[in-house]
A and B are shown apart, each in its own frame.
Chain A
Amino acid sequence: MTTVEDATHDLGETRLGKLRISTSALRAYTMVIALIVIWIFFQFKTRSDLYPYGLFLHPVNLANLLKQMSVTGVLAVGMLMVIVARQIDLSVGSILGLVGGIAAMTQGWGLLPSLGSAIVIGILVGAFQGSLVAYLNIPSFIVTLGGLLTWRGVILYLSKGETIPVRLPVFRLLGVALLTPASGIVLAAIAIVAVIWVNIQRDRTRRRYGLPVSSRPMLLARIIFPSALIALFIYLMNLQGGVPLPVIILLAVAIAGNFLTQNTTFGRYLYAIGSNPDAARLSGVNSKRHILIAFAILGGLVGIASLLHTGRVGSASPDAGTLMELDAIAACVIGGTSLMGGRGKVSGALLGALVMASLDNGMSLLSVENATQYIIKGAVLVAAVGFDMAGRRKS
């Protein structure tokens, strides 16, 4: 604590020539650039006679990549809320195995009880762990480390160590179905209308509160750029048969997660609790309840992720989800979430999950050995945070 008094300048901004960019935005751009570099690299390395321009960005592979990412992505959205509140959950992989197994075991009761049980039990397990953290003051690291062992044990016991196949067709489809191209186009249209509506609405409320509104060209750019991305995405996916359903589910979870963290009092309080628990409490924030709810939401999302995972694999094995908590945490951290709490966004966590999935997918295409894959992913995680810290020191 040495520079606080002297640093009268705005540390939240970095100058690039005449451009003033907020540091967090700069960081996001860096991550996007890193992702593009990774993509170009893999595209270049996967050229062959069959795919002269490279296989990596081929629509079929892109769809694969996004399907792989959807499980980690859903977990990362929930993990983000827990980490923002300065907590951690190491048990999500085991809970995923548990509730996925339960869903497979309860298929005989019908579709809804089977799918519902995964989500409800996920929420209950999350709420239980959250209550231990919040009301008994046991550190979340310990509670969920215990959970990592316990829940894995529970599913091994319940399933007697056996892998249970998915028999319900709809359950299976959750992990593998493609939207028909026509419904993809309808979805794109709805999304574009939503983008336009949100932007116009934003300017209207800003005017109501007497705040400056963006210029006409800015407004157009803010509408056209995302709309073009949506159209391009749907076009590419339709080229290979349609948008995969798990990707749609991930997007829905992400939009809901983003709204929850950025536009609700609940989300704001999570950031406050993570940033300074004492100040949050003295400002009247019910920290305990919010921490419990964050764990419960994560539990529910683990339930959804377990359905996507089990559906895609086609069976629930008792060791499903092993190490997935680490992928989710890594995705958050690569996406700029601080383990000290108070900092991080859903968009960043998704970007992190995309980086991890791209590395996985690209290295598999190149037939990189498993051992090397682990080493590279580990190095990327540490390097990403290293660059972040170095960047923050400079400013």
Chain B
Amino acid sequence: MAAPLLEMRNISKRFPGVLALDRVSFDLHAGEVHALVGENGAGKSTLMNVLGGVYPFGTYDGDILVGDKVQRFNGVHASEDAGIAVVHQELSLIPEFSIAENIYLGREPVRFGVIQTENLFSHAQRVLDELQLKLEPHIPVGYLGIGQQHLVEIAKALARNARILVLDEPTAALTDTEAEVLFRILRRLRESGNGIVYISHKLGEVLDLSDRITVLRDGHTVSTDPTSALDTHHLIARMVGREVTDIFPTTPHKPENIVFEARGVTVEDPNVAGKLLVDHVSFTVRRGEVLGIAGLVGAGRSDLMMAIFGAHPGKTAGEYFVAGSHIAIHKPADAIGAGIGFVTEDRKRFGLLLDQPIVTNLTLAALKRLSGPLVTHVDAETAAGERSMKELRIKAPSVFTVVNTLSGGNQQKVVLAKWLLTNPKVLFLDEPTRGIDVGAKQEIYQQITRLASEGMAIVLVSSELPEVLGLSDRVIVLHEGHLTGEFRRDEATAEKVMAAATGQAA
């Protein structure tokens, strides 16, 4: 076999108080997709940040070899110059700039300091053609959907002649169709001799796409094997260090009276007048019931939740009833007052005060109840915060730990705990397990089951079908803003739900 494209030897990386990587070795051959999996905090991102020059030479131990030469990256640029492109989960595109300008950002073709616009667009067109992306290079990136933006990000990486492409959770925000486009592109890149490092929590696509899989756990390499020798069970067991037989708790709930009802919820797109994001959707949830809302990205699930909660920027209509009585919701405070809690998607953007302590986050939505209307009581808050941390098993040194130092799973538990402190009658959960590791997911599942069995009504929105099917007593399906299906637990199958979600239901 030829020498590998990339070799990382015995990489160790220490942060104050923690050994994030402990002599991890990793290699990548030309024409290969090598997947990197592990729970959050296992060290995947750290390893790729070492490779990408985010942690420069000298801040880690071990060697990076690209084509037999030891590399000493002093920054991201040095790594890019060596042919390495890292596509992070968070996009680094400028919405107001065109696709072409984004692709060549920082490397614009210039003559005497003047950008050669013609050149820029023709180069960009060529890159897009190579990827078989049907996009106009002069369109501002902000007009594209999130999935297409990801593809532009990849085009940007390739335009820098990267031979080594690192993708960190590329499909987290993509629809299945968009993901398919991405996979097609990756397969073609592999055939043309590029090496791809693929980081993902979605084990199905990892098994589908990759040639080899390396599992990291707690900063150590657990194993590197050909994909053909592995299946989901092996991987999960290696990631968590134990066999996971059934990650969904199976306690059946006993739904009782209707707690919450929404009638004729309609949401207009704030950017496109007349376009309806949600069109007359009605549903009910009972005490002790988990209602799943399935649908593809863009089906209007989050818009529906935001609208009911009084937080949607567009025009909304609809009638809401909590425990039988009609309530008017104009702003989130109204919804909270009526006993609705809302664990929003995108915890960093909508859910957390990242630079504030855990306790401040926990008590924010229930501050007046916990503290009185005007004066706060630090000790009462601390005590309540500590109870919450214990109850949800949030792992942190203390309630005063700043939230952005926590792992994704613990951050998500903080958001959940925040809403539980408001004592909601009905709890909306929008993508409650996105981007968190298997262990933390399982804990969230257990909490959902526990809360339902204690009598809370739960509305669960998730893009992961197994999650919706595994947890819900009843599933409703949205497709392009319309309600296209409703299934009881015993009749909800992946096939039926997918058919409704793609608008093919009978």
A-side interface residues toward B, CB under 8 Å? Answer: 1-12, 15, 22, 202, 205-206, 208-211, 263-269, 271-272, 275-276, 278-286, 342-343, 395
Contact = CB atoms under 8 A, between A and B. Distances in A.
Given A1-B90, A209-B379, A268-B376, A276 B354 contact: yes
Contacts of A209: 379-380, 382-383
A276 B333 contact: no
Contacts of B402: 10-12
Contacts of B336: 283-284
Nearest to B371: A265
B15 A9 contact: yes
Interface in B149-205: none
Nearest to A208: B379
Given A275-B354, A342-B353, A5 B408 contact: yes
Contacts of B378: 263
A279 B352 contact: yes
B88 A2 contact: yes
Contact of A5 (B40, B357, B367): B40
B401 interface: yes
B45 interface: yes
B385 to A, nearest CB: 11
Interface string B391-412: 0000011001110111110000
Given A265-B367, A281-B332, 10 more contacts: A8-B407, A10-B405, A11-B402, A11-B404, A208-B379, A263-B376, A268-B364, A280-B353, A282-B342, A286-B333
Nearest to A14: B16
A61 B350 CA distance: 51
B373 to A, nearest CB: 7
Contact of B43 (A6, A211, A280, A395): A6
Contacts of B352: 276, 279
Contact of A280 (B331, B364, B368, B375): B364
Which 6 A-B pairs have CB atoms at the shortest separation, nearest pair first?
A209-B383, A284-B333, A275-B353, A283-B365, A9-B17, A284-B336
A283 B364 contact: yes
A271 B360 contact: yes
A205 B356 contact: no
A205 B407 contact: no
Contacts of B375: 263-265
13 contacts: A10-B396, A205-B377, A211-B379, A211-B382, A263-B375, A264-B374, A265-B368, A265-B375, A276-B349, A279-B349, A282-B344, A284-B336, A342-B355
B20 interface: yes
Interface in B1-34: 15-18, 20
B405 A272 contact: no
Contacts of A343: 355
A8 B18 contact: yes
Interface in B44-90: 44-46, 49, 54, 88, 90
B311 interface: yes
Nearest to B49: A2
B353 A276 contact: yes
Nearest to B16: A9
A359 B332 CA distance: 48
Interface in B122-163: none
Contacts of B470: none
Contacts of B54: 2
A7 B410 CA distance: 12
Nearest to A343: B355
Contacts of A6: 15, 20, 41, 43, 45-46, 49
B441 interface: no
A264 B342 CA distance: 25
A345 to B, nearest CB: 13
A271 B397 CA distance: 23
Contacts of B372: 265
- Interface residue tally on B, bucketed by range: 35 or more
Interface string B404-424: 111110000000001000000
Nearest to B372: A265
B309 interface: yes
Interface string B358-371: 00100011011001
Contacts of B332: 281-284
B471 to A, nearest CB: 23
A265 B44 CA distance: 40
B356 A272 contact: yes
Given A1-B88, A282-B344, A286-B333, A265 B353 contact: no
Contacts of B331: 284, 286
B345 to A, nearest CB: 11
Contacts of B333: 284-286
Contacts of B49: 2-3, 6
Contacts of B407: 5, 8
Interface string B83-112: 000001010000000000000000000000
A15 B350 contact: no
B439 interface: no
A342 B322 CA distance: 35
B379 A9 contact: no
Contacts of A211: 379, 382-383, 386
B351 interface: yes
B45 A2 contact: yes
Given A6-B45, A8-B405, A282 B311 contact: yes
A341 to B, nearest CB: 9
A395 B380 CA distance: 31
Contacts of B16: 9, 15, 395
Nearest to B311: A282
Contacts of A208: 379
Nearest to A23: B402
B88 A342 contact: no
A9 B18 contact: yes
Contacts of A271: 353, 356, 360
Contact of A8 (B41, B351, B355, B379): B41
Contact of A279 (B88, B353, B396): B353
Nearest to B383: A209
A209 B378 CA distance: 10
Interface centre among A3, A205, A206, A286, by most B CB within 10 Å?
Answer: A3
Interface centre among A7, A205, A266, A284, by most B CB within 10 Å?
Answer: A284
B253 to A, nearest CB: 27
A266 B374 contact: yes
Nearest to B13: A6
A95 B383 CA distance: 44
A269 B372 CA distance: 14
